A and B are shown apart, each in its own frame.
Chain A
Amino acid sequence: MIAGCATRRGRGSLLLRLGKTALGANAWLIFAFLYIPILVLIVFSFNDSRSVAHWTGFSMDWYLRLFSNEPLLRAARNSLVIAGVSTLAATAMGTLTALGMDRYPFRLRSSFDAILYLPIVIPEIVMGISLLLFFNLAFFPLLQALLHFRMTLGVPTITVGHIAFNIPFVYVIVRARLVGFDRTLEQAAQDLGANEWRTFWRITFPLLLPGILGGALMAFTLSLDDFLVTAFTAGTASPTMPLYIYSLVRRGVTPEINALSTVLLAASMGLVVISLVLQRRR
């Protein structure tokens, strides 16, 4: 009996040690799997030759070249304009929707809540196709018929598409912030002589601001590197950064693409970090 116990304990601790080692190794493998490709991409953006496989020496040339690449700069400008406008619009709409849903209970509110969350899980390709169909089959013909105005796919339609997929994200983040919101603070303000308007701007808005900014940064990031919805709503004339990179890749990978991707990566990561920090602040 005693011996049996001892063996079992011995085997147990061996298994435990093996398990620990395996778990540790697994963690390292996953890190490697996730980040080695990105690391390679970054490293070769500094390569001193056209090769993306053989390291020949350090250089910043590819980065410098980015700034004299006309089509690239146009794409970058498109991206920033679309991200900026869609972020502003989606943030305003998402925030107002969250406030309305929080403040005015009505029948079926929870169903509406779910409907607002839904676009987050709808496959993006479905969203892209549906937007494309909407513009081509409904919006453009209607515009033509009513105002005799001919419109084609381009920056405005991309922006509308981005607003559509960004609203739910802003909504979710602001709504979460409203859940912990102490309504007696607003009542205290009203008690002290603030009407509804001043109560909103002096109390509600400043307290929601971290959530709103967090939502806005999230929206900006999502818009900057969106590919699918953009591809369906872009037409041919005005690519964004991700579309432009994709078109370059089809002609062959150069370290210039690495450099461009590295810039995008840094920008996105920075925005996400700021967004998370803002959301954590109370």
Chain B
Amino acid sequence: MSDYAVELIGVSKSFPTSKGEQIAAVDRISLSIKHGEFFSLLGPSGCGKTTTLRMIAGFELPTEGEIRILGESMGETPPYQRRVNIVFQNYALFPHMTVYGNVAFGLEMDKIPSPEIRERVTEALRLVRLPGMEDRRPKQLSGGQQQRVALARALVKRPAVLLLDEPLGALDLKLRKEMQLELKHIQAEVGITFIYVTHDQEEALTMSDRIAVMSEGQVLQLGTAAEIYESPLSRFVADFIGETNFLDGELETVRDGLATVLVDGTLRLSAGSAASDLRRGQPIILTVRPEKISLHSRQLDGAVAGQIEELVYIGTDTRYQVRVSEGSRLVVRVQNSGSADQAGFRQGDRVYLTWDPAVARILVR
């Protein structure tokens, strides 16, 4: 058996446009997804997530490259012979069948004897916490319940890999949060590899073992939630995942992995973990997350001086916008650990900003 549940090797997919040209929906993607992993494809709408998933499921054939499932090259294997199952965004429940009929469908196709079908359907409905709904029609269920039926229908087949295409996209926020946790639990319980498509970065960060951030058909960065959040390799990834500050500047010096950056010709900032191939004077972007910055009222060694232009109280945090030079602003988030009147700073206050140089990243412009 292969080390990986799913491998994509240089996979591309082009579609013909109405003008007769080819447009690449997926562009030379290579991924290796491990057994039992919760793997997310994350990216904005139209970046090729669904197309990637549909190629794994077998609904689309790659125009280039190879897809392997459990080490076996799929070639033109039709969907009904692949050991993967998909949960569609619109659920695609069969309207002319009951919940039982829907969940049993895949087992009937496998010619499983009916006592076993009954047992497994009951078990699957218990797993998604929908017992006693066997005789309902999909139309008689709420969105969240339909979602669970779709999940049960796919899981009951015990696939090697479960593909989920924005499965929570149609649910309201509260239900979505609940289902995120529940999906995690279900995955832990069944131990099946999940490939999860979402455009919601928070969802991907919460649920995934590893995330592939996609843009325009390509994988920009692959890593754990922490790696992607803490060490984005490009402006796109840093911007797409969470909130962040960008400062355009020039590289002055690099010493022991610590870089000094000149911003706006006056501001000298340091940042860690700079790539080794950076040159002096190279235009770069310095990025630092708002919650990594501390605010002080006294001048400290190496602190950046600034003035509070705007502040917004958002419950757990207060979000400050601080002017640090003529053309540059930094957003700072400070947790409200004390009582409200202790929160300290007011609009117009002079403040000093510090951060651990290791948490600031340097990106090539």
Contacts and interface: CB of A to CB of B under 8 A. Distances in A.
A193 B92 contact: no
A187 B92 contact: yes
A70 interface: no
Contacts of A184: 88, 90, 92
A193 B157 contact: yes
Nearest to A209: B96
A206 B96 CA distance: 8
A202 interface: yes
A195 B80 contact: yes
Contacts of A198: 109
A85 interface: no
Given A191-B57, A192-B153, A203-B94, 19 more contacts: A188-B86, A188-B93, A188-B94, A189-B94, A190-B58, A190-B78, A191-B80, A191-B154, A192-B109, A192-B157, A193-B80, A193-B106, A193-B109, A193-B110, A193-B157, A194-B109, A195-B78, A195-B80, A206-B96
A207 B96 CA distance: 7
A96 interface: no
Contacts, number: 59
A interface, size bucket: 10 to 19
27 contacts: A182-B90, A184-B92, A185-B92, A185-B94, A185-B95, A187-B59, A187-B92, A188-B86, A188-B88, A188-B92, A188-B94, A188-B153, A189-B105, A190-B80, A191-B84, A191-B154, A192-B80, A192-B105, A192-B106, A192-B153, A192-B157, A193-B110, A194-B105, A198-B109, A207-B95, A207-B96, A282-B95
A185 B93 CA distance: 7
B167 to A, nearest CB: 13
Interface in B69-106: 78-80, 84-86, 88, 90, 92-96, 105-106
B79 A191 contact: yes
Nearest to A207: B96
Interface in A175-227: 182, 184-185, 187-195, 198, 202-203, 206-207
Contacts of A185: 92, 94-95
Given A198-B109, A202-B105, A191 B95 contact: no
Interface string A129-165: 0000000000000000000000000000000000000
Contacts of A182: 90, 92
Nearest to B88: A184
Interface in B154-169: 154, 157
Interface string B35-70: 000000000000000000000011100000000000
A129 B338 CA distance: 95
Given A188-B94, A207-B95, A282-B95, A194 B80 contact: yes
A178 to B, nearest CB: 15
Nearest to A202: B105
Contacts of B85: 191-192
Nearest to B90: A184
A184 B87 CA distance: 11
A196 B326 CA distance: 66
Nearest to A195: B80
B96 A191 contact: no
A202 B101 CA distance: 11
Interface string B107-150: 00110000000000000000000000000000000000000000
A188 B86 CA distance: 8
A188 B88 CA distance: 8
Interface centre among B58, B95, B110, B153 (most CB of A within 10 A): B95
Interface string A11-49: 000000000000000000000000000000000000000
Interface string A253-281: 00000000000000000000000000000
Contacts of A194: 80, 105, 109
Interface in B165-223: none
**Which are the 10 A-B pairs with shortest beta-carbon distances?**
A192-B106, A193-B109, A188-B92, A184-B92, A190-B79, A193-B80, A194-B109, A190-B80, A191-B86, A206-B96
A192 B80 CA distance: 6
B56 to A, nearest CB: 11
